[in-house]
Chain A
């Protein structure tokens, strides 16, 4: 036990030493950089570049196992990100959208163009304050009014939105001709080949889409037991869904690797200067 503790202290010291070393080396390389006009800027930027590299490695260390460096990065990240959103929300939404509509004095203070007094903007202001009433244990229940407003808005907007866009457009896109007279190729069966742009492939696609959507929807029937023909269709539906999931998964690998490339590029290029 004591031994593992002394090892972790040694590791900590090594990490700190490496951090300082990197900081100093970076700062000296920056000194010749014309963009960084004073010593303060090179020291500052060298610190931040080293910090970013340290945090990157700290997160990667989680792949091995949970450790104090990851904990440090995690807790720091939680803290600054929570504040980040508060600041952005404050400046862009409260100052940017609310203030110009309710108060001229505040608008002048924040130097935003005043748009005139609109009493409707008191609705979110009051609801926002009601929501904050939650902090009081006695009047906390009133915050439910704000929640009720939010839920009502969500329900009202989503009902129409999903019906109009996802539902109707997807249904109408399923209306496809099942015998394809493919442009310029001629009537059905005139070109019977497995060419990827051929008539057969087109027709096959349309059939697959039609039957796929049909069986997929059957799978999502909840109030009927999946037995007999109904069960068969639902099983085909699952297969179609499985192809969908497999395909999406395979397709995504590429994106995930890109992100890793991005981070490694930072470490190799910006921090260590191994590649140009």
Chain B
């Protein structure tokens, strides 16, 4: 199935690109809608035929993985969902992998979000992953969801000194003092690891600047590819590791599968699956750049 898809898509795209090239050499203007069609095909065909390639974790991803892996059992890990549904396809595979990994290692997981739109995503994660795959984990003891507060960096400024100044209750309306997992937890400084997943503002950068660095708390992140270059300056000093875009997610997933081949044999790997369309789309974009430049030089020569 996937090899047929591969042949079809390569044939389709290859012939199309050759045609584009001929147009370019003739010096004709190419309609942008034609370019859109190519991208559409390059993305949807691998999706329909499930074409995927193998991945290997890079150091920056391994650093995050082995931080969670090597924390002693029962460590407190805070996951902040700092993204909205629009960014979810790219970063949700990461947050799902983090949740699975942390719960498998029996860490205590604290869910929160700095984006209002993150609330429903946390709820989905708890319903579809925690409750289904880890039925023995108890809300309030093994994990808790404290939800969203408006204010972005303002929230971080407050909870780095005191959670209870900002959060009176968890999302179910239970006072934090009656939630066992919050016993002895005053502020972010009591966490063993902060993980922010998000690409916009506030996101990983704000977690580093307003929580991780001032509180000296280990901070890791997962972000959309677009913000990854911005975060490299903080790695490895203030940010212990980073998952950049879907490639980072795919690497994390493959590492998880390698280390726990039995536990996660049937784990869905949206990250790895999504790398198929990625690769083809990249090839198409590169082909466009090359053809665009040929067109440019041809027309310039004609003018001269």
A contacts B directly (C-beta below 8 A):
yes
Residues of chain A having any CB pair with chain B under 8 Å: 63-64, 85, 88-89, 92-93, 96-97, 100, 112-113, 115, 161, 165, 169-170, 173, 244, 247-248, 251-265, 268, 274-275
Expressed in whole angstroms, the Cα–Cα distance for A262 and B44 within the complex equals 10
Interface stretch among B66-74, B82-90, B95-103, B132-140? B82-90
Selected from B43, B148, B247, the residue in CB contact (under 8 A) with A264 is B43
Expressed in whole angstroms, the Cα–Cα distance for A275 and B274 within the complex equals 14
Residue contact A265 to B282, C-beta cutoff 8 Å: no
A-B contact pairs, 14 of them (CB 8 A): A247-B229, A251-B226, A253-B281, A254-B245, A254-B247, A255-B245, A258-B90, A259-B86, A260-B39, A261-B274, A262-B88, A264-B47, A265-B89, A268-B48
**What sequence of 0s and 1s flags, for each residue 26-39 of chain B, a beta carbon within 8 Å of any chain A beta carbon?**
00000001001001
Q: Which residues of B contact A261 (CB under 8 A)?
A: 43, 47, 89, 274, 277-278
B213 at the A interface (CB under 8 A): yes
Known: A113-B175, A247-B229. A258 touches B245 (CB 8 A): yes
Find the A residue at minimum CB distance from B228. Answer: A251
Residue contact B282 to A254, C-beta cutoff 8 Å: yes
Chain B CB within 10 Å — which of A89, A161, A252, A263 has the most? Answer: A252
Q: Which residues of A contact B90 (CB under 8 A)?
A: 255, 258-259, 262
Known: A254-B282, A255-B226, A255-B246. A96 touches B274 (CB 8 A): no
Known: A251-B229, A253-B285, A262-B90. A88 touches B43 (CB 8 A): no
Residue contact A96 to B229, C-beta cutoff 8 Å: no
Interface Cβ pair total, 8 Å cutoff: 102
The interface size of chain B toward A, counting residues with CB under 8 Å, comes to: 42
Selected from B213, B229, B238, B278, the residue in CB contact (under 8 A) with A257 is B278
Residue contact B278 to A254, C-beta cutoff 8 Å: yes
Residue contact A165 to B209, C-beta cutoff 8 Å: yes
Q: Which residues of B contact A92 (CB under 8 A)?
A: 116, 148-150
**What sequence of 0s and 1s flags, for each residue 265-296 of chain B, a beta carbon within 8 Å of any chain A beta carbon?**
00000000010011001100100000000000
Residue contact A173 to B237, C-beta cutoff 8 Å: yes
B169 at the A interface (CB under 8 A): yes
Residue contact B209 to A258, C-beta cutoff 8 Å: no
B168 at the A interface (CB under 8 A): yes
Main secondary structure of the interface of A (DSSP, over half): helix
Known: A247-B229, A264-B47. A258 touches B150 (CB 8 A): no
Expressed in whole angstroms, the Cα–Cα distance for A169 and B148 within the complex equals 29
Closest chain-A Cβ to B276's Cβ sits at a distance in Å of: 9
Q: Which residues of B contact A263 (CB under 8 A)?
A: 89
Closest chain-A Cβ to B191's Cβ sits at a distance in Å of: 20
Q: Which residues of B contact A262 (CB under 8 A)?
A: 88-90
Find the B residue at minimum CB distance from A89. Answer: B150
Interface residues of B in 114-150 (CB under 8 A from A): 116, 148-150
Residue contact A268 to B44, C-beta cutoff 8 Å: yes
Find the B residue at minimum CB distance from A92. Answer: B150
Residue contact A258 to B274, C-beta cutoff 8 Å: yes
Closest chain-A Cβ to B254's Cβ sits at a distance in Å of: 16
Beyond A113-B175, A258-B246, A260-B39, 16 additional pairs, beta carbon < 8 A: A63-B33, A88-B150, A89-B150, A97-B149, A115-B168, A247-B229, A248-B226, A253-B281, A255-B246, A257-B278, A258-B90, A260-B43, A261-B43, A261-B274, A262-B89, A268-B48
Find the A residue at minimum CB distance from B88. Answer: A262
Interface residues of B in 144-175 (CB under 8 A from A): 148-151, 168-169, 175
Residue contact B50 to A275, C-beta cutoff 8 Å: yes
Residue contact B224 to A255, C-beta cutoff 8 Å: yes
Q: Which residues of A contact B246 (CB under 8 A)?
A: 254-255, 258
Find the A residue at minimum CB distance from B36. Answer: A63
Q: Which residues of A contact B245 (CB under 8 A)?
A: 251, 254-255, 258
Selected from A112, A244, A257, A275, the residue in CB contact (under 8 A) with B43 is A257
Known: A258-B89, A259-B89, A264-B44. A252 touches B225 (CB 8 A): yes
B233 at the A interface (CB under 8 A): yes
Residue contact B168 to A113, C-beta cutoff 8 Å: yes
